């Protein structure tokens, strides 16, 4: 069995893992990121780059190179009820430098982070290598056992950062089980062509028994069709023509192109989970991102929180890690810093899931737009509040750890 030694071993090359990899490598730490896939090409992973992340690109001096990547800017978000549009979020009112959401394929963003991290000598990304177990030594986690293309490999490290997503196997090996809060919905993702003359804004369309979110991705609309929990099988059983008709009914401007949903393979199910670990750490190991807290898709903030966790972890741990294994009290500081934003966001998401989304899905006749939507539309200055929650989140992080690459 081959062996590697590094200061920090990160399991998972998603937004949390790649951002952490970049920040720790920039701080002069030897980092190895293990990613089980050969590339970052996964469809419908969430393509939102939030204003807080764009601000981080500025802080890291990467803004110019980041802006050169193909992306789509979105400044407003609307709710459409019974065909009438209500503007609910206006990102151009945010009190920050980047006052818009950027949409780009997540693989482009992750490739970008990997490329930037690769400029630091301590950074190594090992693809096609799946962490399978933890190495324990002297009462702490001392690395991981992984399986790569050439067989088993051991990576010994002073700290293991579990950023392996919402089905994290590493947290199970660490003895952690998340508390699940339940979610009344699942989401079906698909794409439809976008044409000149289509409505401008990204929007959530609400009608009796159905909700469709349409996100502007340039030449396509990325569409999220919300179903009651477990409703996917019944919907598929009713057949594709019925599904196309339901999409056309809630978004009439798409009626002329629903044939682009060629078969059910074009429609991907996201089983919605909202959960959280009570404890994110044990000696030698810390969970961040979805591995510590799976977010509801409401508001599209999972990537934001994953990245913010990575920034907090680097700010707090890069200094201690330089001196060797990190005290568990430092790992606890990362959880303490991030717990409130996660709790507050999940509480808000659960409230919206129950009061707005589940209620719309249960309705069998047209309903009035919720009061909050009507107030936000009538008072544009209030549209900064949802924009802030989505675009910056609770307690946005800033990079404090200096570059030492």
Ligand X SMILES: Cc1cc2nc3c(=O)[nH]c(=O)nc-3n(C[C@H](O)[C@H](O)[C@H](O)COP(=O)(O)OP(=O)(O)OC[C@H]3O[C@@H](n4cnc5c(N)ncnc54)[C@H](O)[C@@H]3O)c2cc1C
Residues forming the site for ligand X (CB under 6 A): 11-17, 34-37, 44-46, 48, 130-131, 163-165, 169, 189, 270, 289-291, 295, 297, 300-304, 306
Q: Please, what is the minimum distance in Å from the beta carbon of residue 338 to ligand X? A: 12
In contact, 383 and 89? CB cutoff 8 Å:
yes
Half-sphere exposure of 30 (CA within 13 A, CB side): 11
Minimum distance of ligand X from residue 35's CB (angstroms): 5
Q: Is 57 helix (H, G, I), strand (E, B) or coil?
A: helix
Minimum CB distance to ligand X smaller for 270 or for 369? 270
Residue whose entry in the numeric block shows the structure tokens 């903030």: 301
Q: Which is nearer to ligand X, 101 or 360 (CB)?
A: 101
Alpha carbon separation from 11 to 15, 36, 75, 187 (Å, rounded): 12, 9, 34, 27
CB nearer to ligand X: pick between 36 and 205: 36
Q: Minimum Å distance from CB 11 to ligand X?
A: 5
Cα–Cα distance measured from residue 179 to residue 198, given in angstroms and rounded to the nearest whole number: 42
In whole angstroms, what is the distance from residue 131 CA to residue 10 CA?
10
- Minimum Å gap between C-beta 367 and ligand X is 26
Report the residue number, 169 or 369, with the smaller CB distance to ligand X. 169
Minimum separation from the CB atom of position 323 to ligand X (A): 27
Nearer to ligand X, 167 or 238 (CB): 167
Which residue is it, tokens 């690769």?
118
- Can you read off the two tokens belonging to residue 24? 């720790």
CB 180 → ligand X: shortest distance, Å?
A: 16
Residue length of the chain: 405
Residue of 148, 194, 142, 178 lying closest to 325 (CA atoms): 142
For residue 246, give Cα distances in angstroms to 83, 225, 250, 318.
14, 10, 6, 51
Provide the minimum distance between the beta carbon of 62 and ligand X in the complex, in angstroms, as a whole number. Answer: 18
**The two three-digit tokens of residue 79, written as one number:** 């709710």
Q: Residue 337: helix, strand or coil by DSSP?
A: helix
Of 295 and 316, the one with the shorter C-beta distance to ligand X is 295
Shorter beta-carbon distance to ligand X: residue 165 or 284: 165
Q: 169: phi > 0 → left, psi -120 to 50 → alpha, else beta; which?
A: alpha
Compute the distance between CA of residue 157 and CA of residue 370 in angstroms, rounded to an integer.
Answer: 52
Nearer to ligand X (CB atom), residue 153 or residue 250: 153
**Could you tell me the smallest distance in angstroms from the CB atom of residue 110 to ligand X?**
8
Cβ atoms of 52 and 392 within 8 Å: the answer is yes
């Amino acid at each position: 069995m081959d062996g590697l030694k590094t200061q920090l071993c990160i399991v998972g090359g998603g937004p949390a893992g790649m951002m952490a990899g970049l920040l720790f490598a920039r701080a002069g730490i030897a980092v190895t990121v293990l990613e089980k896939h050969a590339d970052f090409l996964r469809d419908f992973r969430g393509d939102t780059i939030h204003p807080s992340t764009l601000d981080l690109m500025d802080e890291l001096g990467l803004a110019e190179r980041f802006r050169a990547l193909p992306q789509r800017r979105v400044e407003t978000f609307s709710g459409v009820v019974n065909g009438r549009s209500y503007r609910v979020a206006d990102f151009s009112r945010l009190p920050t430098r980047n006052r818009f959401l950027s949409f780009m394929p997540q693989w482009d963003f992750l490739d970008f982070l990997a490329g930037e991290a690769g400029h630091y000598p301590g950074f190594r990304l090992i693809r096609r290598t799946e962490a399978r177990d933890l190495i324990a030594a002297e009462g702490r986690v001392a690395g991981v056992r992984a399986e790569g293309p050439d067989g088993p490999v051991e990576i010994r490290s002073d700290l293991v950062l579990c950023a392996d997503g919402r089905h994290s196997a590493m947290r199970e090996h660490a003895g952690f089980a998340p508390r699940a809060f339940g979610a009344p919905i699942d989401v079906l993702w698909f794409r439809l062509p976008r044409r000149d003359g289509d409505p401008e804004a990204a929007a959530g369309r609400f009608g009796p028994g159905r909700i469709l979110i349409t996100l502007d991705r340039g030449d396509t609309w990325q569409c999220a069709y919300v179903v009651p929990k477990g409703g996917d099988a019944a919907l598929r059983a009713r057949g594709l023509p019925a599904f196309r008709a339901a999409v056309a009914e809630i978004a009439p401007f798409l009626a002329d192109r629903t044939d682009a949903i060629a078969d059910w393979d074009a429609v991907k199910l996201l089983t919605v989970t909202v959960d959280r670990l009570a404890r994110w750490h044990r000696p030698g190991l810390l969970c961040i991102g979805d591995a510590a807290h799976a977010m509801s898709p409401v508001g599209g903030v999972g990537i934001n929180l994953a990245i913010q966790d990575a920034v907090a972890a680097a700010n707090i741990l890069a200094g201690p890690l330089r001196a060797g294994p990190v005290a568990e009290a430092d790992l606890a500081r990362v959880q303490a810093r991030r717990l409130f934003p996660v709790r507050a966001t999940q509480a808000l998401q659960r409230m919206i899931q129950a009061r707005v989304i589940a209620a719309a899905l249960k309705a069998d006749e047209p309903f009035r737009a919720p009061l909050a939507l009507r107030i936000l539309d009538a008072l544009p200055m209030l549209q900064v509040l949802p924009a802030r929650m989505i675009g910056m989140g609770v307690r946005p992080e800033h990079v404090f750890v200096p570059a030492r690459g």
